[in-house]
Structure 1
Amino acid sequence: MLDKKQDEVLSEFRCQLAGFLRFSESAAREAGLTPAQYLLLLHLCGFPDRDWATIVELADRLQASHQSTAALVKRCEAQGWVKKRAGRGDARFVEVAPMPKARRAVARVASHHAEELAQLGAVFDAATRVAAMDRSNEKKGRKP
């Protein structure tokens, strides 16, 4: 059971997280992207160990359905943000790669996030410390 301090810290974290998401959506719009396009391009540009991803992988990162992700990729392709090609190892998969225009847009939006991320990081650190104290107290058999 959470005590008052834990409730306050969790509430502040959720408030700051919601503010960060709104800020990020606004920054994406200012760069000429929808929030969904920005997230797709961010996940594509930031995909680990290669410069492309499959629609299945992007859907997983977006926590969206395959169909909605495929439609989003199609809209991004029409805007010149991405390029699709048949999978090299398996033609049943579609590989999606960002175009230089997409990389520039992601960099432009991401550059505005540093201060917001720092603020969110401080709140996250506080929430983590409270959670760690709670776990420590539970191990020692203390009640909050």
Structure 2
Amino acid sequence: MSSAIPATRPSLAKDDFERLSHFRYRLRCFLRQSEDICRASGLTPLQYQLLLHLRGFAGREWATVGELAERLQAKHHGAVALIDRCEEAELVERRQGQGDRRRIEVHLLPKGARLAEHIAELHQPELHLLQDEFQLPGWPNP
């Protein structure tokens, strides 16, 4: 199987590359600042992302391991290991599903909820800058 680029592919203009480069730069700046905030708060960036996805899961206060793996773009076993570490730190707990006893629900514990709130608050200034710079639709104005 060849990885050659088709000759009929439309070429991108210089400003397309400049726009993509700037976006990737600003995204990396946000992520770097986020990493620093997480570490200063005593969490790894992945631990914070897990807490954030639990706190922000649409329609309910918990998520399954599979749902969290998808949100984290991680392999199932990687998500399980991360949940194990967060459970040991008393940030989350696993519970047997109410409707389906085979399903395992991951819930935030009070310590995890407090850390998620604190770290998310520290992200707001940079998030608002990105919102303004990229005019992201559907986000509330600061």
TM-score relative to the length of structure 1: 0.82
Alpha-carbon distance between aligned partners in 2 of 1:92 and 1:59, rounded to the nearest angstrom: 18
Could you say which residue in structure 1 is the equivalent of 2:45? 35
Alpha-carbon distance between aligned partners in 1 of 2:19 and 2:131, rounded to the nearest angstrom: 13
**Structure 1 runs not aligned, ≥5 long:** 129-144
Contact 1:29-1:35 at 8 Å conserved across structures: yes
TM-score relative to the length of structure 2: 0.83
Name segments (4+ residues, structure 1) moved above 4 Å: none
Query: Which structure is higher in RCO with an 8 Å CA cutoff and minimum separation 6?
Result: 1
Q: Deviations over 1:99-139 (max 9, x none)?
A: 1111110111111112211222244339x9xxxxxxxxxxx
Could you say which residue in structure 1 is the equivalent of 2:99? 89
Provide the identity percentage. 48
Alpha-carbon distance between aligned partners in 1 of 2:133 and 2:12, rounded to the nearest angstrom: 17
Structure having the higher helix fraction is: 1
**Structure 2 runs not aligned, ≥5 long:** 1-10, 138-142
Question: Root-mean-square deviation (CA), in Å?
Answer: 1.7
Alpha-carbon distance between aligned partners in 2 of 1:124 and 1:65, rounded to the nearest angstrom: 31
Verify: 1:101 aligned to 2:111, yes or no. Answer: yes
